[in-house]
Amino acid sequence: GDPKTIVGGWPGLPNGIDAAFTYKNGITYVFKGSKYWRYNRRNLDGDYPKEISEGFTGIPDNIDAAMVWGGNGKIYFYKGSKFWRFDPLKRPPVKSTYPKPVSNWEGIPDNIDAALQYTNGYTYFFKGDKYYRFNDRTFAVSKELENYLLN
């Protein structure tokens, strides 16, 4: 039955994870503190955990959220009032112009809890008991949802 323990479904993973995302190649990355784990399906994919500073150069420890954004296929990391764009095909993978303020994502609050890019053309940001539906085409919180949150 549900719920299940994290370690029961994801061998080697500790409780209390900070963030996770699945990349375009189907590999899932999970983050906690200064460490990250890599999974192929739900099988630990190598000798993990590893330091975030080793595998994700330029990304801080203790992140709040991570996602692959459908707008450009890059990986985004969020912590507090800042975000980083990570491109594994570039050297360095994080440009010197980062971090940038979360407020660049119009309508998204600081200190988000989680984020995900969904197949409907929207990205969802979660904070507390609310979520923000971000329109990837207009690069702003969806107006109909924004009106709902304000009322």
Residue 143: pLDDT over 90 = no
DSSP helix/strand/coil, 52? helix
Give pLDDT, residue 35: 98
Which pair of structure tokens corresponds to residue 117? 């890019």
Give pLDDT, residue 150: 46
Q: What is the pLDDT of residues 67-117, one digit of tens each?
A: 998 888 899 999 999 999 999 999 999 999 999 999 999 889 999 999 998
- Rounded mean pLDDT of 25-50? 94
Total-model pTM? 0.89
Question: What are the φ and ψ backbone dihedral angles of 62, each rounded to 5 degrees?
Answer: 55, 50
Name the residue with higher pLDDT: 21 or 144. Answer: 21
Distance in Å from the first CA to the final CA of the chain: 38
Give pLDDT, residue 144: 57
Residue 119: pLDDT over 90 = no
Contacts for 71 with CB less than 8 Å, ≥ 6 apart: 123, 136, 139
Give pLDDT, residue 99: 98
Can you say how many angstroms the Cα of residue 6 is from the centroid of all Cα atoms in its chain? Answer: 18
pLDDT, averaged across the chain:
90
Give pLDDT, residue 151: 43
Rounded Cα–Cα distance for residues 48 and 37 (Å): 5
Question: Which ranges in the chain belong to alpha helices (H)?
Answer: 6-9, 52-55, 143-150
